[in-house]
Chains A and B, each alone.
Chain A
Amino acid sequence: MSALITLENITKSFYTDEIETQALHGINLSINKGEYISLTGQSGCGKSTLLSLLGLLDSPTKGRYMLGDQDVSALSRDQRAAIRSKQIGFVFQSFNLISDLTVEENVMLPLSYQSGISRKVMQAKAQEVLQKVEMGHRTAHFPSQLSGGQQQRVAVARALVNDPAIILADEPTGNLDSKNATAVLTLFDKLHSEGATICMVTHDPASAQRAGRSLEMFDGRLVGDIRNTQAPRPTTQVTADLEAL
């Protein structure tokens, strides 16, 4: 299987008042297409920093990052933005929907940053992914009018709308109750079963178990890489979980 992402000796340092804090130490990682990866570790171990680098939200201090055949470790801000809008989908713990925009407009956002896509096409695509997460009936609502679980499903729809090469989720269930958390994880299972590549940061061992591969971090280093035998779950169970919501 060809590697979708390859990280070679990635280091990330932050500077505060001339004090250097090294968040990542020589990370080497390869992610294949279609993999469902969980990233676990204690608070402050560098999970979110690694996810930010994977999502091109930040640049590594050292090392090489290959996305497919392209070296993306030293791209300009706009070049990184262009890749994000086409190849990466994000799901955040705090949903990060724009309060001024409706559900549909939030979902259309990544497409609006790509050139040459008509509004009609954008709307159709948004409607399609919203149906997928069973939010097609709330397109005209604003985020503040939705529950936490519903907001996160909209966030997932936004992550899917550009048919990304990889979905990056940063503790997607951290702000949700168990019922909504299960639904979101089930949605991820479904997406994975349909071929999506997912990388999810989580604190929850049970959530991590749903992924086919578990990475563990400690003090800015990858200290574990385990293949789970239980995952993935059958598609029928996924559908049942979603319908239960």
Chain B
Amino acid sequence: MMAMMLDLKYALRQLYKSPKFTVMTLGVLLGGLSIALFTFSFLYTTIYKPLPLPEGETAQRLAVYNDGEFDMLTANEFMAVKQGVSVFSELGVYRDQDVRMSKGEAGRNFFGAAVQAGMFEFSRTKPLAGRTFTALDSLPGAPAVAVISEEMWADEFNRDPQLLGRAIELNGVQTEVVGIMPQGYRFPHIARIWLPLQDNIFDVQAPISEQFNVYIRLKEDVEVAHAEREITQVLRSLQLQNQQSYGMEAVQKQARILTFQMAQTGGEGATVFLFLSAISWVVLLLACINVGNLLLARILEKQKETAIRNALGASSGRLISQLMWEGILITVLGTFLSVCLVGALLDYVNVGLRSWLPGAGLFWWRYGLDGATLMMALVYMLGTLFMAVFLPAWRSTRQDINATLRDGTRGAQSRKAGRLSRILVTTQVFLVALLMLIGSVSALIANKFVNIDLGDDYQNVMSTRYSTPERTYPSAQQRLNLTYALMDEVQNHSAVTHVSVAQWLGPRKVHFSDQEFDQAQTGTEIDTISMIGDFQTTGVRLLEGRLFNRADTADKRKVVIISDSMAQRYWPGESALEQHFVMEIEGNREQVYVVGVVSNLMNPKSLFGRLDSADEIYLSGSQFVQTLQKLSYRILPGTTNAEEIFYRAMYNTAPNLDVTQTVMPAIKNRDKMRESMRFISHLTFATGAFALALAVIGIYGLTANAVAQRTHEIGIRRAVGARDCTIIALFMRQGATQLLIGLGLALLLFSVIAMGFQSFTEGLFPVSAYFVMACLVSIALTLVVLLAVYMPISRAIKLEPSSALRYE
């Protein structure tokens, strides 16, 4: 104990005597640890942390992968699973839904959820006042009821104790408030208000069955894999039945039980977690190498002292612990400071997300220092202690005491130190090159999205989504009439210039009469959009022919409008107007005729490529009537209360309309996407810049250390006739060798990663772009490394050979 105290006191004195060393080592470690810890804590809370609810760790969601694509279950599928599988202790469906509360002429939208009775019990949360829903509330014709959040009660009703039992106008319907949920409760996602989901959603046939989120809790003795197998079996049987009964397309179904967080990332959370964590680990590794090197340099300075201590009888263990104290103090202090810094950053993120995101973000996004973060800080600290503190100390005690004590015999130890230094420089170059290469591609992709040309124009455009379910509007004509009425009502407003109703239908199979285009009779998949009204609301311009009109009815020949890219691709050098082809729509093969050509629009297939890399077909929404619609209207600049235009039209035409997305500027979602991408771009750049700074410090430090260790050798070489340029060339050659190995390995690995990027982004960038990036990174890193080698060597050769020979 006494010895330990002495060592600790000695280490403290050493650190106090070298403030520059202490501050630099601490700074490097603080940066590396903070990046790694923040990344872990942020991702863990976003993806893996159990839901902040009682028994949150057992609350899960059921999703289905249709042909490998993440999707929600239909009401039809949910009922089949509910009746055919006995693995659940609880299950139910919900969907996010915007709710508009009106107070006289004014109104306000709230994030809400339509839920089944039992959902509140599932979340193990009791209401602050009143009651939650019962099965009776979901019956058709039941009185309209709602449960509101404590925040809404406080903000909108000033905590009125008489609110329960009173009716408020929600979505144009007088609705009785029956319960108030406690503060902070926003289950299942961001809800402020809950409405009962009507039971008649289960009464419709498979082809028109709506999709819902499914929450589940498995029975205690049921394994997830077993449950997934059983559910998959049920879903596949149902799918076969539906194919036979309704001619639905064949789809490979696979059930997946996911956490709420994982489901929210579309099942991709693990990949994101691993990728971003790996980057943060590389940064931490770089920091460890640098700190380890700085400590190693200190330890090597004390090599003779260590040998004397060893000769005087100090055991290896004692020597290691004595050498480690400085590193231990720095690491512990660095970890403590990084925990404080990360805690402050997480608090800032919490506040920032709440003010920036609509609905203040998902309810489990409660970032802050938690047990897992502190545990990971401990793990990182121990890892750093091992890599950056123990290894250098242990290596130092492996010296040949006799050799070190014999004056001037700098044999074996120096060779090993030189080899270690070369390995460390090569490793640094490899890691930094890889970070820079991946970072530059990520930044390029993010930048592409920030500045992406989507081919549309949503300035001064408001949009909303609504549903016209077949249970409410049984015939297509009824749905169409409602849409026309709504559009006319909106269009009547003096501030509205254009109105359209569209729905993204996804890829549809197309067969051309010309076999050349027909991919072995299986058809070509082209993205399809249903459209009614004026294309100008989306910014898509008519280039040739005509737009749809109300005369394009279901009993007339089916007409389509195609994108310019499609016209150029399939009918180059001739007019596409009146050309015809066959489309598979809703299980039928329809012959369609081209009546117009419009400008290209970005779609998921062309998202990573050029605007004209993928085509679009617009179907007439009056010939193929949809149940889900997106209504957009362009307004005159400076129009106030633009969202009221839609709600007034809605109350005049269909007060009970099922609005699934609140009215908002169409540009808002786009801006959010761009801001997210800009944020990712900045984050990637900042991490890359920090890594590069670490590398510059690290490589310079390692090289300077190596040169210092070889000052005596430089003296010898010069004594026997080496010129300055010969010495510089020798060191530069050795630096270049390390650079070539490190950079070469990184480029090799990057070529594999680049192929993955290229495939993932569907050729977003030409292959030459990767070459250019590789060249730029190689040039930048070469300059950095050679400069880092040149600077210390140029300083070292200024010593006269006689002084260099005396150098210790």
Contact = CB atoms under 8 A, between A and B. Distances in A.
Interface of A: 49, 52, 55, 57-59, 77-78, 81-86, 90, 92-100, 109-110, 113-114, 142-144, 148, 151, 158, 162, 175
B407 A143 contact: no
Given A94-B407, A142-B411, A110 B720 contact: yes
A175 B405 CA distance: 12
Given A57-B802, A57-B805, A96-B712, A84 B412 contact: no
Given A77-B724, A175-B408, A96 B719 contact: yes
Contacts of A90: 719-720
B645 to A, nearest CB: 81
Contacts of B415: 99-100, 142, 144
A233 B229 CA distance: 99
B418 A109 contact: no
A81 B408 contact: no
B801 A58 contact: yes
Contacts of A151: 409
A185 B722 CA distance: 28
Contact of A144 (B411, B715, B805): B411
A144 B403 contact: yes
A223 B412 CA distance: 42
B800 A57 contact: yes
Given A58-B802, A142-B411, A175 B723 contact: no
24 contacts: A57-B802, A58-B800, A77-B723, A78-B723, A81-B718, A83-B721, A85-B720, A86-B721, A93-B408, A94-B408, A95-B408, A96-B719, A96-B805, A99-B415, A100-B415, A100-B418, A109-B722, A113-B717, A113-B723, A143-B411, A144-B411, A144-B412, A148-B409, A175-B406
B15 to A, nearest CB: 26
Contacts of B805: 57, 92, 96
Nearest to B726: A113
A77 to B, nearest CB: 6
A83 to B, nearest CB: 8
B414 interface: yes
B658 interface: no
Interface in B679-719: 712-713, 715-719
A83 B411 CA distance: 28
Nearest to B712: A96
A90 B400 CA distance: 27
Nearest to A98: B713
A85 B407 CA distance: 26
Contacts of A52: 801-802
A57 B717 contact: no
Contacts of A59: 800
A48 to B, nearest CB: 8
Interface string B727-768: 000000000000000000000000000000000000000000
B719 A57 contact: yes
Nearest to B806: A48
Given A57-B802, A99-B412, A175 B719 contact: no
Given A99-B414, A113-B720, 11 more contacts: A57-B718, A78-B723, A81-B718, A82-B723, A94-B407, A109-B716, A109-B722, A110-B720, A113-B722, A148-B406, A158-B720
A195 B273 CA distance: 77
B800 A81 contact: no
B412 A96 contact: no
A52 B715 CA distance: 12
Contacts of A143: 411
A99 B411 contact: yes
Interface in B378-436: 400, 403, 406-412, 414-415, 418
A84 B720 contact: yes
A61 B715 CA distance: 20
Interface of B: 400, 403, 406-412, 414-415, 418, 712-713, 715-726, 800-802, 805
Contact of A81 (B403, B406, B712, B722): B722
B411 A96 contact: no
Contacts of B418: 100
Contacts of A49: 802
Contacts of B712: 96
Given A99-B410, A144-B415, A114 B403 contact: no
Contacts of B724: 77-78, 81
B602 to A, nearest CB: 60
Contacts of A144: 400, 403, 409, 411-412, 415
A162 B721 CA distance: 10
Contacts of B414: 99-100
A142 B721 CA distance: 21
A57 B726 CA distance: 16
Please name the 6 residue pairs, one residue from A and one from B, whose CB atoms are nearest each other, closest first. Answer: A85-B721, A94-B408, A144-B411, A52-B802, A113-B721, A57-B802
A59 B803 CA distance: 12
Contacts of A158: 720
Contact of B722 (A85, A93, A99): A85
A183 to B, nearest CB: 18
Q: Which of B411, B720, B726 has the most CB of A within 10 A?
A: B720
A175 B410 CA distance: 14
A52 B407 CA distance: 20
Nearest to A151: B409
A114 B721 CA distance: 8
A113 B201 CA distance: 90
Nearest to B412: A144
Nearest to A89: B720
Q: Which of A77, A92, A96 has the most CB of B within 10 A?
A: A96
A183 B801 CA distance: 28
Contacts of A98: 713, 716-717
Contacts of A77: 723-724
A59 B410 CA distance: 27
A84 B721 contact: yes
Nearest to B719: A90
A97 B716 CA distance: 8
Q: Which of B415, B715, B719, B721 has the most CB of A within 10 A?
A: B721
A18 B721 CA distance: 31
A95 B719 CA distance: 12
Contacts of A142: 411, 415
A166 B267 CA distance: 80
Contacts of A100: 414-415, 418, 713
Contacts of B713: 98-100
Contacts of A148: 406, 409
A147 to B, nearest CB: 11
A175 B715 CA distance: 19
A53 B805 CA distance: 14
A52 B800 CA distance: 10
Contact of A96 (B400, B408, B726, B800): B408
Contacts of B412: 99, 144
Contacts of A55: 719
Contacts of B723: 77-78, 81-82, 113
B411 A109 contact: no
A150 to B, nearest CB: 12
A173 to B, nearest CB: 14
Q: Which of A78, A85, A98 has the most CB of B within 10 A?
A: A98
A58 B725 CA distance: 18
A120 B418 CA distance: 28
A125 to B, nearest CB: 14
Contacts of A114: 721
A148 B411 CA distance: 12
B594 to A, nearest CB: 77
Nearest to B725: A78
Contacts of A78: 723-725
Nearest to A56: B801
A77 B409 CA distance: 27
A82 B801 CA distance: 13
A98 B726 CA distance: 16
A218 to B, nearest CB: 21
A94 to B, nearest CB: 2
